[in-house]
Every structure is written in C-alpha cells, then in structure tokens.
Amino acid sequence: MDSEGPVGLGSPSSELPSPGDLPLYSMCIQTAPAPSALSSWAIPCPANEQRAASARDACEASAGKPQEEKEPADRVTINVAGLHFETHRSTLARFPGTLLGDPARRDRYYSARREEVFLDRHPDTFPSVLYFYQSGGVLKRPLHVPFDIFVKELEFYDLGDEAMSSFHEEEGYLPLKVIELPTRRAQRILWQLMEHPDSSVLAQIVSIVSLLFVFISIVVFCVGTLPGFQTDGFAQSYATNGAAAGNASGVNSTGGNGTSGNGTAVANALTFAGGPLFTTETVCVAWFCLEIVLRYVSCPSKLAFFRVPMNVVDIVVVVPYFITLGIDVANMDSVNGQHTVSLAVFRVFRLLRVLRILKLSRYFKGLRILAKTLTSSIREILVLFIFLLIGVVLFASAVYFAESDQPNTAFRSIPESFWWAVVTMTTVGYGDMTPVTAGGKVVGSLCAVSGVLMMALPVPVIVNKFTLYYELDRKQQLLLRRPANGGGADARLSQRVTMALDQVCECGGRRGSARAA
C-alpha cells in the first residue's frame, strides 16, 4: 500500500503519535473537544500537522507557567505592618480629604515592586479605619486598642474633624469646641495670659499669684473673727446700744446718750481703715478687681463674659467688700445710733466673702470634676434625700411614742425628734438626745442600721461617675497635647483651648478664629 494513501482503521502506520507525544496530547485533551474513536490517529496532511504543532506549543506554555488572572484596575492592596488588606479605590475615594482617599498622598506609600501600599503603622487599628471607608463614616475603637494609640493613628490617617468629633461623642465625652481668640494681638496675648495658665511661663506666674491672693483673702476672713482682731465698728456699736465704736484699739465715741460727733466718726473710720487685716483684704480685693477688668477687656465677646459662671463668681466675691465698707462708713457717721442697715443684713454681706473659696475651682481641675459629678448625680442625691426624709419621719415618730412617757425626756415632740433621727441615720451621733427605754433603744438601733444602708446605696454610683469624669478628663488632656494641623502659636493654642468638661472661660465670639495661621 502506498504510504501516502489513506490509512485504514486496523492497519499500522508510521504516522501514529510517538510515545513522547502521548503525555502532551493527554494534557491537551482536557481543553480539546470530546474526542472520537479516531482522534488518536492522525491524518497525514500539512494542515493537521500545523494545528497539532500549535496545540503542542500552547500546552507547553501553559504547562511551564500557569496563566495569571488579571487584577481589576480598581482594586488596591494595603499592607499594614505585614497584614494585607484589599479594597477598591472607589471605596477610599468616598473621603478624598483623607490620607488614603487622596491618590496623591496615598502614592507616597505605594511600592511599585510589590504593587501595594505599605504603611508601617499599628495593625490592630486599621480594620476600624478601613470600616470607616466601607461604612461611609462609622468609626469604632476596638476594645483592645488603647485610647491614646487609637487617637494617634486617627491623626495619621487624617480622617477629618467631623469623624474625630463623632468619635469623641462615641467615647462618652463632650465634643471639642475651639474657642475663638481676639483679633488684636495685644488683646489676644492678654486673654491667654489671664485665662490659660499653660500658654506661657508668665501666665503660670500670674496664675500662682492669683492663687496666693485667694488663700490670703480666705485667711484674713477667718482670722478677722478672732476676738483680738475684731475691728467691726458696726457690730460693736450695736453691742454698745448705738455708740459708734472704732476698733479694738479702744477709740470710742464720746457722749453717754448714744450720739457721736463727726470728728469721732471720722477718727473711727480712719482707725478701722488702718487695720492690718483691712489693709490686706483691700489689697486682695484690688487684685481681684484688676483680674475682672483685664478678663473683661480681653474677652472677645463682652456679653458672653457674663454668661460664664466663674466670671459671675469673681464679681460676687468682691461686691460684699464694697457693700460692707459702705455700711461701716455710713453707720460710723450715723446720728443717735440710727443705723441704716440691720445687723443681720450686715452679717449676710460679710458672710458672702466666704464665696471667695469658690475661686479655687478656677485653678484646680479636680474641683471642677467634682462639681460636674454632683450636678450629674442630682437624681441619685434626690433619691437619697427622699429615703432620708422617709426614715426621719418614721423613726422620729416611733421614738417619740416610745419615750414620751418618761419624765424629763428630750423627745418632747415629733418635730424635736427629727434632729435625733437625722443625726442617728447619718451615723453622727452627737449624744444630746438619747433614748432610755427598751423600745426607744430598739428604734434607735433600727434607725442607725437603716441609715447606714440608705447612705451606702447611692454612694457607689456617685463614685463611679467621678471616676468616669476623671478618666474622660485624662483622655481629654491626651488630645490637647497633640500638635495642631496648622502652624504658629495660635494654632497650637487652639488645641489647648478646648472644652472637655467645664472650661474656665467660654467667651468666644465670632471674631478672630484660633485656627487662623
């Protein structure tokens, strides 16, 4: 048979595939159409040989190197300290003002060799950052990531002020509010000097001097009540039935009928004004008045100045000095002992001077935290007073009926027994009123035990709130220490001048932004 003729089904032929070609054909058959019974026999024609050669080349190429799947152009790989994350560029582009959302800023960390964005940052924080882009702005801190580390990472990724504010609220404290600064440079420096002790060394010195004046004024107020330092001519004149006395030096008015001449009144006034305590108090009040004037002059908003509680306290603590001084002078010059103001009113004004101790809260943050704790615990304190009122009425009534039959008993009525019930329930126990009967002692025992329980129940709640506010204030200080995005002293100050719990001054107007460069 001619070698070029058709090959029969059962006849051998030299055109059969060689043993070396069988594995190649077995690989290609996986991608070729379903073979027939004749597919293992080749028909000797150039076209078939060319197709077989092409198939062999394709199979050899695929056997040597697997075909790589093309990565979509929108996908981006982010390597955070060895942990790989994949997302879409369109997802990051939802927030173009952030580090990863801005292509130009993101390309600074792009590795062309690895085809990924490499960030040598805290790896446990990035899932929250990535979820921020995926969710459209939801930012959650993982419980195992410390607060300060998480804040630093957020600053690096530059998620924006709105995201930071929502994160602050989520953490449980007030959002940051940047206080506006005065526009004029001299006014701004004076405002920083008086309101923010941490702004400069000179501001710290002014704060220390103010604190010393507060302590000195409180000491003068207390020492002035000692018998050897009492120079209250007005009170002494009441004690001597209208004689306008001077001070402890013994300068008294003449005339036994209670009248005083103008010369004696002037002498008394001069002697009173020349006392060491009066002079010291005058110097302290002068400093307080100077502080008020400087704060008012430097404050950007004059109306908002009077809405700040601490500024109102500063004004209230100096007003009694001028009122009592005017009363002293007016009564020293009074005729026939006719005083213009009663002694009770006079003592009320003198008592208002003790409010100067409230100025300490301006310089001690712990006092402000305590005040915030008490104001937020009004409901618990109200419940405590209600429990106390119920117990006082019950036990006062019970001890009265138990002790009323005893001669010379101290429990003569239920209202008089209220004092004993309050002292017993608060575990003070002065001992001025004590039950003597068996029934009265049983009532007293129950009153003491119930008082301990009533007082102990709301105390942990108040303590927990104080701990919470203290921890929030500590976290706030960590935020305030971070550098501002802008440069300059004003930008750095704007980060420090923020409200955490209760800021000292809140008199920011609409002029002179602290964020100005």
Which residue is associated with the tokens 């009040």? Answer: 285
Domain-embedded: residue 462 = no
Give residue-wise pLDDT tens across range 105-127.
998 999 888 889 999 999 999 99
Domain-embedded: residue 1 = no
Q: How far, in Å, CA of 205 to CA of 212, rounded?
A: 11
Angstrom CA distances, 161 to 46, 166, 473, stand at 74, 9, 20
Query: How many CA atoms does the CB half-sphere of 440 hold within 13 Å?
Result: 20
CB 425 within 8 A of CB 449: no
CB atoms < 10 A from the CB of 503, how many? Answer: 19
Closest CA relative to residue 478, chosen from 146, 181, 48: 146
Within this chain, do residues 353 and 312 fall inside the same structural domain, yes or no? Answer: yes
In the DSSP assignment, the letter for residue 404 is T
Q: Name the residue with higher pLDDT: 264 or 71.
A: 71
Angstrom CA distances, 260 to 231, 273, 329, 331, stand at 18, 18, 13, 10
Domain-embedded: residue 281 = yes
Within this chain, do residues 255 and 402 fall inside the same structural domain, yes or no? Answer: no
- Final residue belonging to a domain, choices 457, 483, 506: 457
User: CB within 8 A of 459, min separation 6: which ones?
Assistant: none
Q: Structurally, how many domains does the chain consist of?
A: 4
What pLDDT is recorded for position 359? Answer: 81
Region 495-510: what's the mean pLDDT? 38
Q: How far, in Å, CA of 124 to CA of 128, rounded?
A: 8
Within this chain, do residues 162 and 260 fall inside the same structural domain, yes or no? Answer: no
Element (H, E) at 85: strand 83-88
What pLDDT is recorded for position 167? Answer: 81
Q: Return the structure tokens found at 457.
A: 């129940």
Within this chain, do residues 160 and 95 fall inside the same structural domain, yes or no? Answer: yes
Within this chain, do residues 306 and 213 fall inside the same structural domain, yes or no? Answer: yes
Q: Which residues pair with 88 in a beta bridge?
A: 75
Q: How far, in Å, CA of 233 to CA of 238, rounded?
A: 9
Give residue-wise pLDDT tens across range 129-184.
999 999 988 888 888 888 888 888 988 999 888 888 788 777 765 555 556 677 78
Give residue-wise pLDDT tens across range 196-225.
777 788 888 988 999 899 899 888 888 888
Domain-embedded: residue 189 = no
Task: Specify the CATH number for the domain of residue 387.
Answer: 1.10.287.70
Region 446-464: what's the mean pLDDT? 88
Within this chain, do residues 223 and 256 fall inside the same structural domain, yes or no? Answer: yes
Task: Specify the CATH number for the domain of residue 115.
Answer: 3.30.710.10
Q: How far, in Å, CA of 331 to CA of 240, rounded?
A: 13
Domain-embedded: residue 309 = yes
User: CB within 8 A of 260, min separation 6: which ones?
Assistant: 243, 244, 253, 254, 268, 332, 334, 335
Q: How far, in Å, CA of 63 to CA of 65, rounded?
A: 6
Domain-embedded: residue 194 = no
Q: Name the residue with higher pLDDT: 458 or 236.
A: 458
What pLDDT is recorded for position 193? Answer: 85
Within this chain, do residues 59 and 81 fall inside the same structural domain, yes or no? Answer: no
Instruction: Examine the pLDDT at 8 and tell me if it is beyond 80.
Output: no
Within this chain, do residues 287 and 334 fall inside the same structural domain, yes or no? Answer: yes
CB 331 within 8 A of CB 340: yes
Domain-embedded: residue 490 = no
Q: What does the mean pLDDT of the chain come to? A: 72
Query: How many CA atoms does the CB half-sphere of 277 hold within 13 Å?
Result: 18
Instruction: Examine the pLDDT at 356 and tell me if it is beyond 70.
Output: yes
Within this chain, do residues 234 and 270 fall inside the same structural domain, yes or no? Answer: yes
Domain-embedded: residue 516 = no
Full 3-state SS string of 94-120: CCCCCCCCCHHHHHHHEECCCCEEEEC
User: CB within 8 A of 305, min separation 6: which ones?
Assistant: 295, 296, 299, 311, 507
Within this chain, do residues 132 and 259 fall inside the same structural domain, yes or no? Answer: no
Instruction: Examine the pLDDT at 35 and tell me if it is beyond 80.
Output: no
Burial pattern 165-192, b for ≥16 Cβ within 10 A else e, equals ebbbeeeebbebebbbbbeeeebbbbbb
Instruction: Examine the pLDDT at 326 and tell me if it is beyond 50.
Output: yes
Domain that includes residue 48, residue range: 24-64
Give residue-wise pLDDT tens across range 396-425.
999 999 998 888 888 999 999 999 999 999
What pLDDT is recorded for position 376? Answer: 86
Q: Name the residue with higher pLDDT: 49 or 324.
A: 324
Q: Which residues pair with 78 in a beta bridge?
A: 85, 117
Within this chain, do residues 206 and 305 fall inside the same structural domain, yes or no? Answer: yes
Query: Where do runs of H (alpha helix) occur along 299-425?
Result: 302-305, 309-332, 343-351, 365-376, 378-403, 414-425
Largest CA distance in the chain: 169
Give residue-wise pLDDT tens across range 279-305.
888 899 999 999 999 989 888 888 888
Within this chain, do residues 219 and 343 fall inside the same structural domain, yes or no? Answer: yes
What pTM did the predictor assign? 0.53
pLDDT confidence tier of residue 342, bands split at 50, 70 and 90 = low
Closest CA relative to residue 309, chosen from 357, 354, 361: 361
Q: Name the residue with higher pLDDT: 254 or 363.
A: 363
